[in-house]
Amino acid sequence: MADMEHMEHVAGMENSSAAEGGVSCVSLTAPDSSAPIRKFDLTAARTTLKLDNGKAVEAWTFNGSSPGPELRVKEGDRVVVTLHNKDIEDGVTIHWHGIEVPCSQDGIAGVTQDTVPPGGEFTYTFIAPAPGTYWYHSHQMSSIQVGKGLLGAMIVEPKEGSESDTTTSETTALYQQLGSSMLVNGSTQGLAVPGRPGDIVRLRLINSGNETMEFHVDGAPFRVVAMDGHDLHEPGQLADTMVPIGAGQRYDLLIQVPATGKVVVGSPSAKSLPITIGSGSEPHHSEGGQPFSFVDYGTPSPNDPIPQVQPDRHFDLELGQTLFVKSINGKAFGEIPPMIVKEGDHVSITVSNVGGGDHPFHVHGHVFRVLSKNRVALRGSPVYLDTLLTKKGETYELYLEADNPGLWMVHCHNLKHASMGMSMMLNYE
Ligand code: C2O
Ligand code: CU
């Protein structure tokens, strides 16, 4: 059975199934612009991290920590990040998860660039997209390197002067599995967020692990205001129940601190890692409420009608398990024919989860719109994602515009599944 190391190696050596589209990725770079330049340096290195529970872990870090530094930029900035590899023997790359970068900047070892060897460096340049919550991680032997700690948050803020926000404060909560420890923002103890009654706190939840995390908010109603960095228009009903966040996904919640002064956000899969907002008395445990689902997002924005165009291309993908392989249409990476599109195509993709666990379906270089779930059209605000959580038995219809030429990976963001075969390419002809 092939593993991720092997497959990324193969993809690099042969470049065959990857490069068949005929587009050369290397020449596709960020356009020139006079936008403000934001420069960062990220150095990947082997580090012994002392966790706040006293444990020491052998981790791979960016700038000495895991998660690496949170990169904050503004919409439209020209982002320039130089990756240095101090001593990660297998090499390192950086993938900008959820950001529609030019293909050459996508960080796919063996496909869009060579892996950066110890002592080497590579500079990524791209334009910061719409404001939102994104993240970055190594895409060389991802399953291993993300698990070792090579990841961090990337937040794109609105341009100067365009804030219309009512939030009092905001906090990123990046969950990760590091060795046997579950961490939030690098801590094993949970997160304490300051807040006073009446404050509105924006919580940016990032699930960088391999398992779905179901979050509950106790003590206050909340609203999901963005998914995968994309605002939900008119989010509608306040929800007070559960939010399932698939591996790789981000949810932004808006929470108003109640009179009791305390809200607890937690997940059964991260029991010891609650996020506590405010310092008042114990929150009263909210009961009932409507189950959270895609269809609760309120009314559609009039500017965003459901695409009616006949798609130029359609693909059917079944995510499942075949013997020991996590498969797409019964095949594993290398045997799965790429989806071939042409620039300008309207593309529809039907994704079904036929078993083998939750499969968070991730597309590089593109944002897709979720049109329907189990053949029922989504009502309410349009939902745009880069990673879609699918559970067994579910079918989704997705729509994307082929507007970013290149060679792109499409894979399950349970990176163990990806390494077991659930990966393929989306290539431009
Ligand atoms: Cu965040 Cu190819 O992945
Ligand atoms: Cu999967």
Question: What are the tens digits of pLDDT across the range 171-181?
Answer: 999 999 998 89
* All structural domains of the chain with their residue ranges: 4-157, 169-292, 313-428
Which ligand approaches the C-alpha of residue 95 most closely?
Answer: 1
Question: What are the tens digits of pLDDT across the range 142-165?
Answer: 999 999 999 999 999 988 765 556
Lining ligand 1 with CB less than 6 A are: 95, 97, 137, 139, 248, 362, 364, 409, 411, 413
Render 192-230 in DSSP notation, one character per residue.
Answer: EE---TT-EEEEEEEE-SSS-EEEEEESS-EEEEEETTE
The identity of residue 73, as a single letter, is V
Position with higher pLDDT, 188 vs 308: 188
* Alpha carbons 303 and 321: distance in angstroms, whole number: 40
Which ligand approaches the C-alpha of residue 357 most closely?
Answer: 2
Q: What is the pLDDT of residue 269?
A: 74
Nearest CA to ligand 1 atom 3: 97
Residue 29 pLDDT > 90: no
Average pLDDT, rounded, for the chain: 86
Q: What is the CATH number of domain 4-157?
A: 2.60.40.420
Q: Average pLDDT, stretch 218-224?
A: 83
The pTM of the full predicted model, rounded to 2 decimals, is: 0.90
Which ligand approaches the C-alpha of residue 387 most closely?
Answer: 1
* Alpha carbons 8 and 167: distance in angstroms, whole number: 43
Position with higher pLDDT, 303 vs 205: 205
CATH class of residue range 313-428: mainly beta
Fold of 169-292: Immunoglobulin-like (2.60.40)
Ligand 1 center to 300 CA (angstroms) = 29
Residue 238 pLDDT > 50: no
Q: What is the pLDDT of residue 308?
A: 64
Ligand 2 center to 124 CA (angstroms) = 28
Query: What is the number of the ligand 1 atom nearest to the C-alpha of 146?
Result: 1
Query: What is the number of the ligand 1 atom nearest to the C-alpha of 98?
Result: 1
Ligand 2 center to 69 CA (angstroms) = 28
Q: How far is CA 151 from CA 139, 172, 221, 252, in A?
A: 10, 14, 31, 19
Q: What is the pLDDT of residue 126?
A: 95
Collapsing DSSP to helix, strand or coil, 249 comes out as: coil
- Topology match between the domains 4-157 and 313-428: yes
Which ligand approaches the C-alpha of residue 140 most closely?
Answer: 1
Cα pseudo-dihedral 249, 183, 216, 386, rounded to 10: 0
Query: What is the number of the ligand 1 atom nearest to the C-alpha of 418?
Result: 2
Residues 6+ apart with CB under 8 A from 293: none
Q: What is the pLDDT of residue 405?
A: 95
Ligand 2 center to 414 CA (angstroms) = 5
Position with higher pLDDT, 237 vs 244: 244
Beta pairing partners, 79: 38, 126
Most confident of 302-306, 333-337, 381-385: 333-337
Please state the separation of Cα 353 from the chain's center in Å.
19
Collapsing DSSP to helix, strand or coil, 40 comes out as: strand
Residue 400 pLDDT > 50: yes
* Alpha carbons 246 and 235: distance in angstroms, whole number: 20
Q: What is the pLDDT of residue 28?
A: 77
Which ligand approaches the C-alpha of residue 139 most closely?
Answer: 1
Entry field: residues in the chain = 429
Burial class (CB in 10 A: 0-12, 13-18, 19+), 46: middle
Residue 3 pLDDT > 80: no
Nearest CA to ligand 1 atom 1: 97
Ligand 2 center to 291 CA (angstroms) = 24
The token pair at 371 is 């049109």
Most confident of 8-17, 21-30, 394-403: 394-403
Beta pairing partners, 339: 426
Q: Average pLDDT, stretch 308-329?
A: 91
CA 164-165-169 angle, to 5 degrees, is 150
Query: What is the number of the ligand 1 atom nearest to the C-alpha of 409?
Result: 2
* Alpha carbons 60 and 49: distance in angstroms, whole number: 9
Residue 428 pLDDT > 80: yes
Ligand 2 center to 34 CA (angstroms) = 41
* Alpha carbons 134 and 129: distance in angstroms, whole number: 10
Q: Average pLDDT, stretch 250-254?
A: 91
Indicate the pLDDT class of residue 298, thresholds 50, 70 and 90.
Answer: very low
Ligand 1 center to 102 CA (angstroms) = 15
Q: What is the pLDDT of residue 258?
A: 84
Ligand 1 center to 306 CA (angstroms) = 27
* DSSP symbol at 66: S
Most confident of 9-13, 27-31, 64-68: 64-68
Q: What is the pLDDT of residue 306?
A: 63
